[in-house]
Structure 1
Amino acid sequence: MHAPPPSWRRLAVVAFVLALTGGVVVALWPADGAQPPFPHVDKLAHALGFAMLWALGRAAGVRPLPLALGLLAYGAAIEGLQALTPTREASWADWLADGAGLLLGHALLVRGAPRRR
């Protein structure tokens, strides 16, 4: 992966921090009890959200191993905090979907990266 110009990196850092902050807010926002449009849509949302976090973290210059470990800890922390709320619950399946999203994000970035000759 080629390093983005410094101005893009700063923008990616800001976007990454905002996405992490927004993720906590959304995860802890009181659930409204509405029926999901299809079963397990929340797992898809977890996977896509963490794929996006992976892409933003890599664009911000975070190395893969610290990024993966940090995002897995972030996901676990959110699940733990949800267990403390009256309208949310912790779920191992959500955390596994977070990990699947990291793998998806990595695969998409590797697939989309220019080939070195």
Structure 2
Amino acid sequence: MAILTLIKDYWLALTLFILFCITTLSLWPAESLPQVPGTDKTHHFIAYGLLVLPTALKKPNGWIYIALAFMAFSGVIELIQPYVNRYGEWLDMLANVVGLFCGIIIATILNYFTTPVYKK
């Protein structure tokens, strides 16, 4: 699949872009953000699932440590939010972690079904 190849080729740039977006949106004053459909927890779940997906697809050396760093980053963001006119919630972090795990599972399934048999 061409899109998966692109994601794997540009995994680092994609990951850094998504990380930048998550950081910006997480620390921006809530009243300035546009309203989007879905719940807050759904947004967290999707954002962190997308964050880990390029890394989990590419699987560079130490990729699992990168995923753990995303988990720690999620906690740090929740701790910082009260200082920037937002509120931190541990349930948000739980949604982030579940999103990370689901992103890893989706990447594993995609890799399994798109990797030629001789590479498995």
Query: Same fold by TM-score, threshold 0.5 exceeded?
Result: yes
- How far apart are 1:68 and its partner, in Å? 2.3
- Size of the aligned set, in residue pairs, is 110
For normalisation by structure 2, the TM-score amounts to 0.76
Alpha-carbon distance in 1 for matches of 2:110, 2:100: 15
**Residues 35 and 56 of structure 1: is their aligned pair in 2 closer, same or farther, counting only changes over 3 Å?**
closer
Alpha-carbon distance in 1 for matches of 2:41, 2:17: 21
- Aligned-pair Cα RMSD in Å: 2.9
Equivalent of residue 104 in structure 2, options 95, 103, 106: 106
Alignment map for 1:42-57 (pairs within 5 Å):
42-57=40-55
Deviations, residues 19-53 of structure 1 (Å, cap 9, x unaligned): 11111111011111887755xx1111111111111
- Of residues 44-53 and 29-38 in structure 1, the stretch that sits farther from structure 2 once superposed is 29-38
DSSP-derived class of the 2:31 partner: coil
For normalisation by structure 1, the TM-score amounts to 0.77
- How far apart are 1:8 and its partner, in Å? 4.8
Equivalent of residue 97 in structure 1, options 71, 95, 98: 95
Deviations, residues 58-87 of structure 1 (Å, cap 9, x unaligned): 33726342022100111011111102122x
Gaps of 5+ in 1: none
Name the one with the larger helix percent. Answer: 2
Overall identity of the aligned pairs, in %: 23
